[in-house]
Amino acid sequence: MRIRNWSLGYLFGYIFTTIGIKSFYRKYKVVGKENVPKGKPILFAGNHQNAFLEGAILGYVTRSPIYFLARSDIFKKKAASFMLNSLNALPIYRERDGADYRDKNEEVFEQFYDLLGNNRRIVIFPEGNHGKHQQLRSLKKGIFRIAVGAEAKYNKELDVQVVPVGINYGKFENMGGDLLIQFGAPIAIKDYIADNSVKQEENYIELVGELRKRLSDQMIDIQKMDYYDLIHFTMKTFDAEIGLLERNDGNDLVSEFKRQKGYIEKAESYIEKDIENANALLKVVVEFRGLLSEEKLSAWLFNKESYAVFGHVFLLTLLFPLHLYGILNNYLPYRIPAWFVEKKVADIHFHASIKLLAGSILFVIFWGIQISLVAIFTDNYYWAMYFGSLIFSAWISYKYWVSFLKLKGKIRYNKLQKQKVDIFRKLKIQHENLKQFVYKSYQK
């Protein structure tokens, strides 16, 4: 086991993650980095939605090499093992991996003890699995066993810190969403080391509870899973109304996070008071979303009675040549990862990870080839201007496509209003009923 700072593989991974984050997310913000102690061994404890993406994100955010665990079965092939080791990944063994899985894990933990003994940073996801919902699942004790084990090996002189990290996605699996990362106040493990195993187990339980509270504070955490669809859908659909009710209508990610946290608390409290109405509205959400899918519409369209589209059509027509230029230069590196996950990756939790990292690699390769060809066959510095046009046209083309989809939605909405009056009225009523749920959640 090497204990060192940067490896060549990790450096490349860091570069491509940087490119991916800056291009994959619409907005990106880090909050609370002052809570990350300097000069001390750290275990980052994050919530886990997106396969291996969160580990890459935290490596980028912290600006220093981190180590993390990965399932042992993906280390079986030599090429995969070499790549994962270069990226500072260590295998974690499960019962299905053989009778000696506990012994193998002890060897891995010993390596972690030594990493912490050298003031390294480790990422562990204490939920133990990933899930697409914005909810903090049950936490495991393993992260604290590693911390206490390291302190024991180094005579309680390390001062290991467990830092909770909330990772919040505006869109779970697709490009164009927001990313908010929040570091909470650290837990000093030396304050929870006991003299005997019975007391230590009690301390582990206390630590899990404390971490749960601190981690929940840094993330969107909807605990009423039976009503998740109702709470989450209304939270996303009626952001403007929630902003007025929370007296917080800021456009920045922190303001959005705070009003969502405020709304979740109010909505869950209201559900407890009126279960019957909540159950009825849960059925409304299911039917409303089903009808929206059938009609290929989005919920935001129902904030107006109709939409003027002439100006929108004129603008898109005017910008079409730029969009076409952007497609010709950027379509393949964008589309290949999207096609791959749609056709080959059944687990949705891997989609964003593959799109972000594979996309950034492919863009570098494709753009490198294109720029090289321009440099070879042209004089002066046309290649530099071409490079600039690639970045600009990629941004224009993406914005154009989003705007085009919105225009299609507006046209369909207007047609629905005129051609399917009964369905339109039903959707409008359902939309209003869900909006009233938001308002009722704030009534005392």
164 has which bridge partners? Answer: 45
The string of pLDDT tens digits covering residues 135-163 is 999 999 989 999 999 999 998 889 999 99
- Is the model more confident about 174 or about 226? 226
237 and 188 share one domain: no
Token pair recorded at residue 87:
């990226």
207 and 229 share one domain: no
SS3 46: strand
In a domain, residue 98? The reply is yes
Domain count, the chain: 2
The fraction of the chain above a pLDDT of 90, given in percent, is 65
**What CATH number has the domain bearing residue 62?**
3.40.1130.10
In a domain, residue 148? The reply is yes
Which of 9-13, 227-231, 263-267, 386-390 has the lowest average pLDDT? 9-13
41 and 138 share one domain: yes
The pLDDT of residue 12 is: 83
73 and 133 share one domain: yes
Average pLDDT for 46-54: 83
231 and 205 share one domain: no
In a domain, residue 387? The reply is yes
Give the residue among 4, 29, 270 at the shortest CA–CA distance from 118. 4
260 and 354 share one domain: yes
In a domain, residue 56? The reply is yes
The pLDDT of residue 336 is: 93
Mean pLDDT, rounded, of the chain: 90
Average pLDDT for 372-397: 92
Average pLDDT for 24-31: 91
At residue 228, does pLDDT exceed 70? yes
In a domain, residue 268? The reply is yes
Question: For residue 302, what pLDDT band results from cuts at 50, 70 and 90?
Answer: very high
211 and 249 share one domain: no
In a domain, residue 1? The reply is no
Give the residue among 78, 74, 103, 66 at the shortest CA–CA distance from 91. 74
Last residue of a domain, one of 163, 183, 217: 217
232 and 349 share one domain: yes
In a domain, residue 84? The reply is yes
- Round to whole Å and give the CA distance between 221 and 234: 15
The string of pLDDT tens digits covering residues 238-276 is 999 999 999 998 999 999 999 999 999 999 999 999 999
The pLDDT of residue 2 is: 44
Q: How far apart are the first and last CA of the chain?
A: 59
Q: Are strands 121-124 and 161-169 parallel, antiparallel or unpaired?
A: unpaired
The string of pLDDT tens digits covering residues 28-45 is 999 999 999 998 999 999
319 and 426 share one domain: yes
The pLDDT of residue 3 is: 43
The pLDDT of residue 376 is: 93
Which of 1-10, 88-97, 301-310 has the lowest average pLDDT? 1-10
138 DSSP 8-state letter: P
210 and 232 share one domain: no
The string of pLDDT tens digits covering residues 78-133 is 776 777 777 788 888 776 767 777 788 888 889 899 999 999 899 998 988 888 89
In a domain, residue 213? The reply is yes
191 and 228 share one domain: no
Question: What predicted TM-score, i.e. pTM, was given to this entire model?
Answer: 0.89
Domain of 320, in residue numbers: 224-444
Last residue of a domain, one of 198, 217, 236: 217
The pLDDT of residue 205 is: 95
Give the residue among 146, 96, 88 at the shortest CA–CA distance from 117. 146
209 and 178 share one domain: yes
Distances (CA, A) of 122 to 59, 74, 143: 10, 19, 10
Last residue of a domain, one of 217, 239, 263: 217
Give the residue among 78, 81, 88, 71 at the shortest CA–CA distance from 8. 88
The string of pLDDT tens digits covering residues 166-183 is 999 988 778 888 999 999
Residue ranges with strand state E in 127-234: 161-169, 178-183, 187-188
